[in-house]
Amino acid sequence: MAALVQQQPLVLKYHNGALLKGTVTVNLIWYGKFTPIQRSIIVDFLQSLNSPVPPQPSVSSWWKTTEKYKDGAGSSTLVVGKQFLDENYSLGKSLKNSHIVYLAAKGGHSSGAVNVVLTAKDVAVDGFCMNRCGSHGSTRGPNRFAYAWVGNSETECPGYCAWPFHQPLYGPQTPPLVAPNGDVGVDGMVINIAAVLAGTVTNPFNNGYFQGPATAPLEAVTACTGVFGSGAYPGYAGSVLTDKTSGASYNAHGVNGRKYLLPAMWDPQTSKCSTLV
């Protein structure tokens, strides 16, 4: 059955719009309380996207798949820009989409940037845990900018947004994998940040690469949901690497000796979901 599923070609149609190319600055808006260690796990991941790390497979080799979009014209180098801390929950602990856009605007209105809002584990966001773990979009008008949001699901829905590091909410109850940085919520956030950033550079203004309706598009990573290694099928993340000391599961090396588990990404050259291992 799994073999049958994998054989169907998957096509993300290109809708002739702009992709984010060249140097793309990622500005971070931390909303709510994150520990310095939690912030470093995420910042190290972002810095790994363009840092060739000697051990393979690496985070940067995962990101290189985005270069294949639009005949290689879509290559983007992500750099970490400004960081804003809002530890006092200036808009409360229950946010709507308009609040996310308002917070994202703190990163400025640059066409060559993505402003990423990261919400702490005690913050509720419209749709969070119901039908999304993160999202991305763009504002309109001459000063339009791309933005993204990802929430920490540790207390609200780790089985939905931090799988495979937690028992899944539905389906076969396979044992969870050990999170590579020892933090189920933040390691889950890395998976979702990876998904929204890949979606942002390949479909920043809703007219890039996607399948299905523009209102609910399947994008570079979301078209490959639940796949982390070869042989994956629903309820099974696939064959990944294991850290001999901690028993943690990972498939990518990052900077500062970090390890991460990253989702499969659609490869336009093969029309398949591509995994690192």
Cα Rg of the chain, angstroms: 17
* pLDDT score of 1: 44
> Of the candidates 99, 194, 97, 206, which has an alpha carbon nearest to the alpha carbon of residue 146?
206
SS3 content of the chain, % helix, strand, coil (to 5): 25, 25, 50
Strand partners, 112: none
- The phi and psi torsions of 97 (rounded to 5 degrees) equal -60, -35
Strand partners, 138: 146
Is 131 buried (19+), middle (13-18) or exposed (0-12) by CB count in 10 A?
Answer: exposed
* pLDDT score of 111: 85
CA separation for the pair 158, 250 (Å, rounded): 18
pLDDT tens profile 90-140: 999 999 999 999 999 999 998 889 999 999 999 999 999 999 999 999 999
Mean per-residue pLDDT, 3-21: 78
Count of alpha carbons within 13 Å of 142, Cβ hemisphere only? Answer: 0
CA separation for the pair 195, 66 (Å, rounded): 12
Confidence of residue 273 (pLDDT cuts 50, 70, 90): very high
* pLDDT score of 7: 52
Average pLDDT over the chain reads 93
Pairing relation of β-strands 209-210 and 113-119? unpaired
> Of the candidates 262, 234, 273, 271, which has an alpha carbon nearest to the alpha carbon of residue 45?
262
Q: Which amino acid is at 176?
A: P
Confidence of residue 8 (pLDDT cuts 50, 70, 90): low
Find all residues with CB under 8 Å of 206, minimum gap 6, and list them.
17, 137, 138, 214, 217
186: region left, alpha or beta (phi > 0 left; psi from -120 to 50 alpha): alpha
Mean per-residue pLDDT, 20-40: 96
